[in-house]
Structure 1
Amino acid sequence: MPRTPDTHADDLDTIPPAQPVFHVEQALLGALLLEPQRLSDVTGIVSEAFSTAVHAALFAAIRSLPAPDPLQHTKNTKWLDEVLAAAHKQVRGLSASYLHTLIQVCPWPRHAPAYARMIEAEHSRRRLCAAAQRLTQTARDTSLPQRVATTLAEADALATVADDIAARFPPHSGSLPHTPAPSPATPHDEEAADEERLLLATATAHPSNVEQMRWLTPDDFTHPLHAELWQCLITLTRRGTPVDPVTVLWEAQHRGLLSAGAEPRELLDLLARPVGSPESWGERILQRSVLQIAHHIGRRIEAFTQDPATTPYQLVVGSRRALADLCAVRTRWQHATSPAPQNRPARTRATAAPRAGPPRTTAPPPPTARISR
């Protein structure tokens, strides 16, 4: 007779094992159920800090009820029944046997503050991970009307979470995370390449604008050849050298771009089709760079949080280092999008009225005659 597979056993095999914080939460709840007076020693965590709804409901119920008399608590289960009833209002399926299990698995109730600190640390990891994911998603959301402003606001929110964690877990000097950073995504965006080509052609036709666009750097370009050509334009304008497609081609040759595979005729054609203004194309390129950097920073911090070996101290230091990379490009974006200052007329210094001198007592001397040769 063929054996009927035990689907229930197969399902149990697919359930991932509980994380260490789950056992820590059990130990803390067991300590509080066994000795409720230790709740006063537990600070810094709220019910949202727990990883499961059952544990969160139990902790909220324990906090909502006054602690029983320690002597009476050892004689009956009245207070435990009240905790169970209060927790039942938030979650279903909770039984009295689970409360007894929590009490049994707690090694030492007096270690409750240490357990609470561990739970707080893991909650900080989840908070930082969620903030990093929001930054990553926002940076890629093309439906937003103000993409850069919204993305930078999410970066500020992420920094606020990191600051809050730092206040609870002050970082040690030099405690950087050891998690390898994810490789930056380099999407091949044909629209971005077209905008870069149009910028190069337009800037070649209007080289005087290049000097005013210091907020745009070669690192903002998605195509390496375009980044090198932009550096050629910067070099020529700062030298005061005449700028046109031919002079840019000559500078490109000295930089080895032709030996790298770029054809002279191809570069001349690229630089000979200006459209619009360099500033408008430059802002588009810089916007894409801001969003790309923000997206990479979000992925980088998320990788830190998903490494269980990363401590809260390392999360703070690593997050702050990553967010610092966004400061420079944020400043350049503000320079690019801020209105140009209006030229104010030069202030003329008013001629002061001559001061009155002392009264004369003698006649003034006669004017000196000019000696002619």
Structure 2
Amino acid sequence: MPETTDPYGDGDGAGLADPAPSPPVHYAEQALLGALLLDPHRLDTLGSLEAAQFGDPAHAAVFAAMGTLTPPEAVVHAREPVWLSTVLDHARRDARGLTAAYLHALVQVCPDPRHAAAYAQIVRSEYARRTLRTHAGSLTQAATVPVQPDPAAVILAQADALARYVDELAGQFAPHPGSLPRTPAPSDPPRDTGSDVLDEERLLLATATAHPGELARMRWLLPVDFALPVHAALFHCLTALAHRGEPIDPVIVLWEAQHRGLLLRDASPAHIMNLLSTPAGSVEHWGGKVLQRALLHQARTTAGLIRAYVDDPANSVHQLVTGSRRALANLSAIRVRWQRTLLRAPAPSRAPRTTAAARAGPLRTTAPARPARTSR
């Protein structure tokens, strides 16, 4: 089959040929249009195909023109090229450089007009891939450049739109065996470890150490939500002590951290004591901040995974549906925990102070006091 890539040229592809190889859907679009030029009555067998689903603008213009015209009678169509000429005249309104030679070439490259419905399904499949990529890109954008004052609401709205589209695809494409994508999962995007992020995590740990009773109301926060591993480990120490019903203060948390090997890997005793000794505000307030950033990170991770599936041409649409649903399940899990924070009761007695120093001021750098030596 010759590669017809020049709808605006003289039919030989000279001068405007695509520099990159055409994807398989390009040939499916050509074959479908050729089939409809040969047998226009097959338009009624294509289902819900739309011109916007074509990747090539010239092909979209030709198909749109066909949809606005009444096909000629079979006898007339067999005797005169009325259909081709009429389609060309109407398509030129949106694709002015379109030539009759290109439409004749479309007829020539169509393997079998009887397969028009199969060609249409290929066009729909590639459109589904492009649209899913757009949804994933919107989710990435929302999580990368959060819209204030409620970035979580924007992200979850984008995730809902993506999930609805995945459900639509599930109803349009029949399942088949081997539906899991085989695409290797990409690395998770790096966590945001800016100064504001780390200060919020430090203030949470210090305030939870000073007011451990509030930990019982924070089952919605997990160590995995923290951006810095040492902070995640310290929060694990706090929750373990609270679960065992043991007393909690900086010294006891430091002792727990030693038993977990944290002092050998990540931090010195003086650093941990200093970190845990600067409480401010409310535990639930800082916990909500940490969980919201974790939600943003999971949204970027989910969108990146779906993009990896979409960009792998070996995945069928049903594989994209299955993989996308699994990726969205991870985002849904943290979403449930985030919704619990919206229902939590406020703590007005220790509402976060609004000064910059109270919110995320510099942590004390002095070591904890040591007992003075006594002379013998």
Letter in 2 for 1:306: D
Instruction: Note the 1:341-360 alignment, pairs <5 A.
Output: none
Following the alignment from structure 1 to structure 2, what is the Cα–Cα distance between the partners of residues 324 and 299?
Answer: 14
Correspondence 1:314 to 2:319? yes
Deviates more, 1:170-179 or 1:294-303: 170-179
Deviates more, 1:76-85 or 1:158-167: 76-85
Instruction: Note the 1:184-195 alignment, pairs <5 A.
Output: 184-187=188-191, 188-195=193-200
Q: Which structure: larger Rg?
A: 1
Following the alignment from structure 1 to structure 2, what is the Cα–Cα distance between the partners of residues 170 and 263?
Answer: 58
Q: Deviations over 1:215-261 (max 9, x none)?
A: 10000001111001001110111111111000101111111111214
Pick aligned residue for 1:236 from 238, 241, 252: 241
**Structure 1 residues 49, 15: closer, same or farther in 2, change over 3 A?**
same
Residue 199 of structure 1 aligns to a residue whose secondary structure is helix
Aligned equivalent of 1:206: 211
Deviation at residue 157 of structure 1 after TM alignment: 0.5
Alignment gaps of 5+ in structure 2? 1-14, 347-376
Aligned equivalent of 1:70: 74
Letter in 1 for 2:88: L
Q: How many positions carry a matched residue from both structures?
A: 333
Pick aligned residue for 1:60 from 51, 64, 67: 64
Residue 246 of structure 2 aligns to a residue whose secondary structure is coil
The answer on whether the counterparts of 1:171 and 1:317 sit within 8 Å (CA) in structure 2 is no
Deviation at residue 143 of structure 1 after TM alignment: 3.9
Pick aligned residue for 1:333 from 317, 333, 338: 338
Aligned equivalent of 2:43: 39
Following the alignment from structure 1 to structure 2, what is the Cα–Cα distance between the partners of residues 286 and 198?
Answer: 14
Aligned equivalent of 1:113: 117
Deviates more, 1:141-150 or 1:41-50: 141-150
Following the alignment from structure 2 to structure 1, what is the Cα–Cα distance between the partners of residues 60 and 148?
Answer: 35
The answer on whether the counterparts of 1:171 and 1:316 sit within 8 Å (CA) in structure 2 is no
Following the alignment from structure 1 to structure 2, what is the Cα–Cα distance between the partners of residues 14 and 119?
Answer: 19
Q: Which runs of 4+ in 1 moved over 6 A?
A: 11-14
Deviation at residue 198 of structure 1 after TM alignment: 0.8
Following the alignment from structure 1 to structure 2, what is the Cα–Cα distance between the partners of residues 69 and 134?
Answer: 47
Following the alignment from structure 2 to structure 1, what is the Cα–Cα distance between the partners of residues 334 and 67?
Answer: 46
The answer on whether the counterparts of 2:65 and 2:91 sit within 8 Å (CA) in structure 1 is yes
Deviates more, 1:69-78 or 1:313-322: 69-78
Aligned equivalent of 2:8: none
**Structure 1 residues 285, 166: closer, same or farther in 2, change over 3 A?**
same
Deviation at residue 73 of structure 1 after TM alignment: 0.9
Letter in 2 for 1:200: L
Correspondence 1:227 to 2:246? no
Following the alignment from structure 2 to structure 1, what is the Cα–Cα distance between the partners of residues 170 and 281?
Answer: 48
Following the alignment from structure 1 to structure 2, what is the Cα–Cα distance between the partners of residues 202 and 142?
Answer: 27
Correspondence 1:159 to 2:163? yes
Correspondence 1:303 to 2:308? yes
Q: TM-score when scaled to structure 2? A: 0.85
Deviation at residue 12 of structure 1 after TM alignment: 7.2
Letter in 2 for 1:119: V
Deviates more, 1:19-28 or 1:174-183: 174-183
Residue 258 of structure 1 aligns to a residue whose secondary structure is helix
Alignment gaps of 5+ in structure 1? 1-10, 342-373
**Structure 1 residues 50, 261: closer, same or farther in 2, change over 3 A?**
closer
Following the alignment from structure 1 to structure 2, what is the Cα–Cα distance between the partners of residues 220 and 256?
Answer: 20
The answer on whether the counterparts of 1:44 and 1:120 sit within 8 Å (CA) in structure 2 is no
Pick aligned residue for 1:251 from 248, 256, 263: 256
The answer on whether the counterparts of 2:132 and 2:162 sit within 8 Å (CA) in structure 1 is yes
Deviation at residue 39 of structure 1 after TM alignment: 1.0
Following the alignment from structure 1 to structure 2, what is the Cα–Cα distance between the partners of residues 28 and 180?
Answer: 33
The answer on whether the counterparts of 2:254 and 2:272 sit within 8 Å (CA) in structure 1 is yes
Aligned equivalent of 1:147: 151
Instruction: Note the 1:117-136 alignment, pairs <5 A.
Output: 117-136=121-140
Deviation at residue 14 of structure 1 after TM alignment: 7.9
The answer on whether the counterparts of 1:229 and 1:252 sit within 8 Å (CA) in structure 2 is yes
Following the alignment from structure 2 to structure 1, what is the Cα–Cα distance between the partners of residues 115 and 17?
Answer: 33
Residue 83 of structure 2 aligns to a residue whose secondary structure is helix
Letter in 1 for 2:114: R
Deviation at residue 145 of structure 1 after TM alignment: 2.8
Give the CA RMSD over aligned residues: 1.8
The percent identity for this pair of structures is 50
Letter in 1 for 2:166: A
